[in-house]
Structure 1
């Protein structure tokens, strides 16, 4: 894989994840307590032996940049020709931001050419999955392909949100539709379609030519799914590569956590007895930044007063530095440095780094962003209509989200948000 270059697109706004993306890019959103979303694709790269990585950022990239520096710099040795470079928009050709996925790569074409790769692997930085990219590159070369597209089987309804592939028996792509209203399904199964995962392997010289042609087309959206792939199918060798899952479960695991509800559901799956995503697999480790913090602590085991004062967490993930001090935690994910105080009840919640829950609070189906302090005796998630009136973000399913930087102000029995 030393003659392969990897480009990770990590500049998306993640507007459907607001307010979690109010101050950070989508790939930098915490996931599973310890990880960031970007850690999954970068772990795939490292585990696949891909050690030349360009990470293209754009919106609100400071948090992501800092995380890459802390978590990933030690895994790559530049003296051996390895690197992971975080690259903001260069505005090399004009003063505009990236206009699409293809334009993002085009604006960094000089950085790619400098390494003289044989093939270029292009990945999105905002999905949760495990995959070895090596067999896909080998397939690409064996088929003498110009482009190879990672393909995932999805339901017909889900396919409306993807690029939909039609391929022949040799896996050569003969049709491609971007987010069609009526997806073309598989001949053998009318309920399943073949979707593009946004994972591409390009012959490097072919990529340069197509990006330069696309850049001069005034009618193009400068996007791989909308423009580059469909235009190449007729006259070039474009193939589909079936998703090979390294998660080693009965069903293939690939998640787009692009909405608050999807993010919550994927996170809650992690606390199951047999979660669909295996984070404990030593053969395919997911790496992340490990802060120098003490182990989690659970204190008080006595019963007294109007409620039980016992520090415990059941069916939960608790990260280092967290202290459950006389509170009750059920089916929740506690990030680093979280503090749960006495008589508090936390159920079905996701608490980011440094969150503090005051005494006698009740939280149910709440996502609390980094550093927020919940005042004592505050109920959140019990009455979604009341929470919306307070100024919290409430999804259609009743999930409550408290954003980073929100200050909760207590006036009598009322709690409001001060931003």
Structure 2
């Protein structure tokens, strides 16, 4: 018999959101900021999507564990997410390494939680939900919590199917007929496909729901050994042998019918996930008022479009943010962030233009990512000659041209 879900347990779930990674594969976007603070979708930061999932799921006790280049992330959390009522035992806490257990920074995902055992002792939650701050998806964590409780799991790992060639980037999971995880292989060079489909693998989504008592026991044991102190490499393989570890296969929900989940781990993946948003019927819908994605927005005037010559001006399949001034320019399949100026007879195709960028006249940009406050001089071309672009910009494997923040262009 399945036990009814006790909604009061929401207050007994503590979220620990891991936001301290270097994000080296997103360089140069992470040159001056933490990966979760990288802008996304015009007006958001990557972390906003996970935090919005928490709020929409009713979870309001959140610890954000930060580390590298956290200034802009700290500021964003302070001005954009100061929405909790401490009198109701709600909070969002930004926690850098406290060095309570040693003199080291966070050595891995499990070590980040281990170094904050003091928080668990103080809050005494029944469950701990460990989340990543660099994924784009919509998940109602209530469904996960309900599943975890009714199936009496010690650890529940949400999983999703991905193409076999992409599975090398994730923890590959094998399960039995009762959804119990029987094998966990972190970032294997030769991932095992699903027995029912040789073209896909079942992988971890980087989300872990623990019973607190079991979590504390296992991370203390792990800290005594010379390991990577990582959930995927160390904690989960150990728990498979000792505890009840279940998979929660993510099949979407009413807000995410396509099972959309993206790990923004590389520049190409980042570009693709952004461009997904400008499709006519995107798999990830920003306009779903039932599952709002919240953020902090500066006060800008409305976007303004000036088309004196219709042959030069066109906007098609694009997201245009407030404060933009577009003058006789062509914008196709692109995302234009706030306070961007685009000069006459310029064109932007398949590109992500971040806040405060100034694009001159007769500029041609294709398949590019332009970080904040870059000024692009008149007549410049980007994305049309990758060999030449490589002399000044970062060019990805798939030919995306990236200009870093406040870059001085010649």
Q: Normalising by the residue count of structure 2, what TM-score does the alignment of the two structures yield?
A: 0.95
Q: What is the aligned partner in structure 2 of residue 239 from structure 1?
A: 246
Give the 3-state SS of the residue equivalent to 1:407 in structure 2: coil
Matches within 5 A, 1:267-306: 267-302=274-309
Q: What is the aligned partner in structure 2 of residue 354 from structure 1?
A: 356
Distance in 2 of aligned mates of 1:58 and 1:380:
34
Q: What is the aligned partner in structure 1 of residue 206 from structure 2?
A: 198
1:221 aligns with 2:223: no
1:71 aligns with 2:80: yes
207, 225, 228: which one aligns with 2:215: 207
Distance in 2 of aligned mates of 1:256 and 1:221:
21
Change (3 A) 1:239 1:206: same
Matches within 5 A, 1:136-155: 136-155=144-163
CA contact (8 A) 2:138 2:256 kept: no
Per-residue deviation at 1:244? 4.3
262, 269, 285: which one aligns with 1:262: 269
Distance in 2 of aligned mates of 1:155 and 1:331:
25
1:318 aligns with 2:327: no
Q: What is the aligned partner in structure 2 of residue 59 from structure 1?
A: 68
Give the 3-state SS of the residue equivalent to 1:40 in structure 2: helix
Per-residue deviation at 1:248? 4.1
Per-residue deviation at 1:309? 5.2
Give the 3-state SS of the residue equivalent to 1:234 in structure 2: helix
Give the 3-state SS of the residue equivalent to 2:161 in structure 1: strand
CA contact (8 A) 2:139 2:256 kept: no
Q: What is the aligned partner in structure 1 of residue 367 from structure 2?
A: 365
CA contact (8 A) 1:246 1:284 kept: no
Deviations 1:228-279 (A, max 9, x none): 1101112211111111424645531011121111111111111111112111
Q: What is the aligned partner in structure 2 of residue 36 from structure 1?
A: 45
Give the 3-state SS of the residue equivalent to 1:69 in structure 2: helix
RMSD between aligned residues: 1.4
Distance in 2 of aligned mates of 1:366 and 1:240:
38
Per-residue deviation at 1:63? 0.8
CA contact (8 A) 1:321 1:336 kept: yes
Distance in 1 of aligned mates of 2:399 and 2:241:
47
Distance in 2 of aligned mates of 1:397 and 1:192:
22
Q: What is the aligned partner in structure 2 of residue 407 from structure 1?
A: 408
Distance in 2 of aligned mates of 1:114 and 1:35:
32
Q: What is the aligned partner in structure 2 of residue 378 from structure 1?
A: 380
Q: Aligned residue pairs: how many? A: 401
Change (3 A) 1:86 1:249: closer
Deviations 1:296-345 (A, max 9, x none): 11014236xxxx554x4221100011110222212211000000111212
Q: What is the aligned partner in structure 2 of residue 412 from structure 1?
A: none
Q: Normalising by the residue count of structure 1, what TM-score does the alignment of the two structures yield?
A: 0.93
Q: What is the aligned partner in structure 2 of residue 85 from structure 1?
A: 93
329, 332, 345: which one aligns with 1:330: 332
Unpaired runs of at least 5, structure 1:
409-414
Distance in 1 of aligned mates of 2:111 and 2:86:
27
Distance in 2 of aligned mates of 1:161 and 1:388:
26
Distance in 2 of aligned mates of 1:366 and 1:247:
33
Distance in 2 of aligned mates of 1:179 and 1:6:
25
Change (3 A) 1:89 1:149: same
Distance in 1 of aligned mates of 2:253 and 2:271:
23
Distance in 2 of aligned mates of 1:341 and 1:52:
46
CA contact (8 A) 1:132 1:244 kept: no
Give the 3-state SS of the residue equivalent to 1:193 in structure 2: strand
Q: What is the aligned partner in structure 1 of residue 396 from structure 2?
A: 395
Distance in 2 of aligned mates of 1:347 and 1:146:
49
Q: What is the aligned partner in structure 2 of residue 411 from structure 1?
A: none
Distance in 2 of aligned mates of 1:336 and 1:157:
36
Distance in 1 of aligned mates of 2:225 and 2:236:
15
Per-residue deviation at 1:188? 2.2
CA contact (8 A) 2:255 2:291 kept: no
